[in-house]
Structure 1
Amino acid sequence: MFTSTGRYTRKLIENLERLDTEHRYTIVLPRAQVDEWEPTSPRFSTVGTDTPYFSLREQTGFARELRRLRPDLVHFAMPQQPLYVGAPRVTTFHDMTLLKIRNHKKHRVVSALKRVVGAAAFAVFAHRSRANLVVSRYSGRDLISYTRAAARTVTVTYPAADPITDPPQSVGTPFRRFVLYVGTQVPYKNLRRLIDAVLRLRADDDTIGLIVAGRIDADGARLIETLDEGAREGVQFTGFVSDAQLRWLYEHAAVYAFPSLYEGFGLPGLEAMRHGCPVVSSDATCLPEVYGDAAEYFDPRQVPDLHAALSRVLSDQGLADRLRERGRRRAEMYSWRWMALRTLDAYRDALQTGRDGCRSAEGPS
C-alpha cells in the first residue's frame, strides 16, 4: 500500500513518461528509494538525496543540490520545500491538514505555533509557485483562503483510483459481514465514532464487525487501549495489508465507511467504489464533491446518523446495488492520464509565460 501522496507521485511520473515527448525530467528521490524505480523513458533519470523532510538541511543543502541540477522548472509534489531554489516552481497542495487540524500528540501551544509557522510557509510557497496544483476544488478554496494565493494560479488535478490487479488474497476474519475502513488512525479520521456506530449494529447482529486495514500507528495503538473487551470483539485491526489483501477486503466488504472530518480528496473511498464496494461517507469537506451521488452520506459528528447510514446500506440490497453501480461509474470518471495532462499544461504555462499564472482545469462534477 502506498500513501495517497506516494501513489499520486508515482502515477504522475508513470503517465508523464508516456505523454511528454518535449521535456527531460530528473526525479529527485530519497537515496534509499532510487533503486526502487526504473525509468521507462530515456528522457527520465533519477537523483538521490539524503535530505530529511522538515529539516534545516532542506533549506540549505537540498536547495544547493537542486540549484546544481540547473532545472528550468521544479515541481514539488508536496509543499515541503526550500524557500529558494533558483528556478520557477510548481507545487502540489494535497490538503491543509497541517493548518486546520490540531496535532493532539503535541502540547496545545506547540501545536498552535506549528500551525502559525506552517501557514506562513505555505503562503510563501504558494506565492512563489507559478502554478499551485490541488486535488479537489475544495482543496483549492482552502488554499486560497489560507494563503491568499491568486485564484488564477490554482489548477485542479484530480487523482484517480486504478483497480488492483494482483490476485485477491484472503484476510482471515471472524465476521460473517464486515464494514471496512482503510487508512491511518489519526483522530480527525474519526474512527472512534465509526467504532461506536458499528457496536450499535452489533447490538442487533453480532455477526457484523468492523475491519480497520492499514499499519497500526501510535494513534491506533492508543485507540485500541480505550476499547473494552466487548468492543474489541467487534473490531479487527489488520495492520499492514498487501495490495492483494486490500483487493480482497474491498471485494468482500458489505460496505466501506469513510467517517473522516477532513480530507483533501478521499482516495480510499474511490478505490472501494472501483472494486464494487458500496460506500457510506462523511458529508464533510471535499467528499461530496469527489463521490457525487455514488455514496450514502452522514454527519460525521453524529454517531446516530452514521449508524443509520450503515443500517440503510446493510439492510437494503437494492440501495447497496445502486451504490455499487454508481460507484463504479464514478470511479471511472477519474483518470491518472487526465491528471498528468493537466499537470503538463501547468508545466508548459509556467515555462512559457514567465509569470504567476496557469490554466484552471475542470474535472468530474
Structure 2
Amino acid sequence: MRVLFDHQSFSGARFGGVARYFYDLMHNLKYHQEVEVKLSLLFSNNEYLKNADVKKVFPFSYFLGYGPTNALFSHLNRANSAFQITRHNYDLFHPTYFNDYFMTFLGKTPYVITHHDTIPEKFSTQYAELDGFDKAYKKRVLDKAARIIAVSENTKNDLIDIFQVAPEKVAVIHHSTHFATYKPAEDFDIITPERYLLYVGNRDNYKNFDVFLRAIAPILYKQPDLHLICAGSHGFTDVEQKLFQETGVSQQVQHQEIQNDDALYRIYQKAVAFVYPSLYEGFGIPILEAFACGCPVALSDRSCFPEVARNAALYFNPDDTENIAFEVEKLIDNAELRLNLVKKGYQRLKDFSPENTAKKTLEVYKSVLGK
C-alpha cells in the first residue's frame, strides 16, 4: 500500500503535537506495517524530521523574518504537494491539515483525514483571536473524506454534534507517545530549581493559564522553594509579567525553551508534578509524556482528559481557583499520592503505543481501499 501525506503540519512547525503525531504515524507505518510512505515536503525546520529517514528535507533560515519566511516556504511546499498529488503514484492520500488545495488535483483517489479537536468551533466566540478554517469550509473537507480519524471519543462526539458527521464514518484512534520507549542520553541534564511544578505548551486563551497561575500563587508564596516552570511555546508576554508581579511570584516562575526530546523528557522527569489546566483539548499528548517520564499528573476535569488519563491523574475544576489550589497542593504535599499516580500512569501508558496507533490507522486505510 502506498500512502501520500502532505506538507501542511510540517512547513512552519519545529515542534508540536500534530507534527509529532504524523511523524510517529509515518515512521511506524513504514517500519512496522510495511506501508510505502510518501511525504510531499521539501523545506522544513521540523525537529522530528531532522535526523529521520522518513523524508529528507531542506532546512531554511528566516531571512525575511519568521512569519514572512514561513509563508514563503509554505507556498513552495504547497506547490510541491500539488505536483506530487497530480502524479497519482499512491493509493490513498492523508492530508495533515484542513486546507482543501488538494481537492483540485486529487481526482477520484480517496483521502482519510485526522481530526484533532473542535476548539476553534467551541471557543471562537469567546476568543476572537483563535484562528481556524470557517466551519462550512471544514465541513466540506470532512464530508468528502472517505473516513475520518478522531483522536478521542470526545472528539468523535464533537464531530457528530458540530459537523453532523455520520458516526459510522468516524474511527476513534487515540494518540500515543514515543516517550513510552524513549531513553534520553545518560549524560544529558538540564538546570532546574530543586522543586517545581511543570506547565507545558501554549498559554493563550482556552489554555486557562492565567486562572491556574492565580490559583497556585498562594501556594508558591507559602513555599518559596517551589517554582513553576513553563516549558516550550514563546517567552512570557508583558501581560504575563504583569500578572506575575501582581501575584507576587515573579521570582518563582520561569520559562524554559525546549530544544530537543532529551530536554523535554528530563523536565518532566524532574518535576514535582505536571499540571494541565486547559478548558478543552482534543486529546492531550502531554499527559502521556508525563506518564512515560514518571511524572505525577493533575488535570482539568474537562473534555477528553478523564477518557485519556482515567484514574492515573488527580482532577480539578478549571474554573474554580480554590479547587485548583486544593488539589495541586494535595499533590505537592503527599509523596505517597504522587508515587501512586506515577505507578498508575505507567500502567495506563500501556494502552497507548505508536505501533498500535499505526496498526489501527492501517485498518482504516484498508477499509477505504477494500482490502
Q: TM-score range by the shorter chain?
A: 0.7 to 0.9
Deviation at 1:38, TM superposition (A): 5.0
Mapping 1:136-175, distance limit 5 Å:
136-163=152-179, 164-167=182-185, 169-173=188-192, 175=193
Matched residue, 2:94: 75
Q: Cα distance 1:284–1:39, how it changes in 2: closer, same or farther (>3 A)?
A: same
Matched residue, 1:321: 339
Matched residue, 2:303: 285
Asked if 1 retains the 8 angstrom alpha-carbon contact of 2:42 and 2:80, the reply is no
Alignment partner of 2:139 out of 100, 123, 129: 123
Percent identity (aligned): 26
Q: CA deviation digits over 1:119-149, x for unaligned, max 9?
A: 1122111111111011111111111212111
Deviation at 1:190, TM superposition (A): 1.1
- Partner amino acid, structure 2, of 1:244: D
Counterpart CA distance in 1 for 2:233 and 2:222 is 30
Q: CA deviation digits over 1:234-271, x for unaligned, max 9?
A: 21111334322222211111111000111011111211
Q: Size of the alignment, in residue pairs?
A: 338
Q: Cα distance 1:240–1:20, how it changes in 2: closer, same or farther (>3 A)?
A: closer
Q: Cα distance 1:183–1:124, how it changes in 2: closer, same or farther (>3 A)?
A: same
Aligned with 2:112: secondary structure? strand
* Alignment TM-score, normalising by the size of structure 2: 0.81
User: Which structure 2 residue ranges, 5 or more long, are not aligned?
Assistant: 1-13, 59-68
Matched residue, 2:261: 243
- Partner amino acid, structure 1, of 2:174: Y
Q: Structure 1 residue 133 and structure 2 residue 149: aligned?
A: yes
Q: Cα distance 1:15–1:220, how it changes in 2: closer, same or farther (>3 A)?
A: farther
* Alignment TM-score, normalising by the size of structure 1: 0.83
Alignment partner of 1:15 out of 28, 32, 42: 28
Mapping 1:19-30, distance limit 5 Å:
19-21=32-34, 23-30=35-42
Deviation at 1:276, TM superposition (A): 0.9
Q: CA deviation digits over 1:144-167, x for unaligned, max 9?
A: 212111111111111112334222
Asked if 2 retains the 8 angstrom alpha-carbon contact of 1:52 and 1:58, the reply is no
- Partner amino acid, structure 1, of 2:165: A
Mapping 1:349-364, distance limit 5 Å:
349-352=367-370
Matched residue, 2:203: 185
Counterpart CA distance in 1 for 2:158 and 2:126 is 22
RMSD of the TM alignment (CA)? Answer: 3.0
Q: Cα distance 1:161–1:215, how it changes in 2: closer, same or farther (>3 A)?
A: same
Deviation at 1:78, TM superposition (A): 2.5
Matched residue, 2:215: 197
Aligned with 1:326: secondary structure? helix
Q: CA deviation digits over 1:80-120, x for unaligned, max 9?
A: 3324421211001111122222388857xxx6xx66x5211
Asked if 2 retains the 8 angstrom alpha-carbon contact of 1:279 and 1:296, the reply is yes
Counterpart CA distance in 2 for 1:135 and 1:25 is 21
Counterpart CA distance in 2 for 1:47 and 1:177 is 40
Q: Cα distance 1:66–1:322, how it changes in 2: closer, same or farther (>3 A)?
A: same
Q: Structure 1 residue 224 and structure 2 residue 233: aligned?
A: no
User: Which structure 1 residue ranges, 5 or more long, are not aligned?
Assistant: 354-365
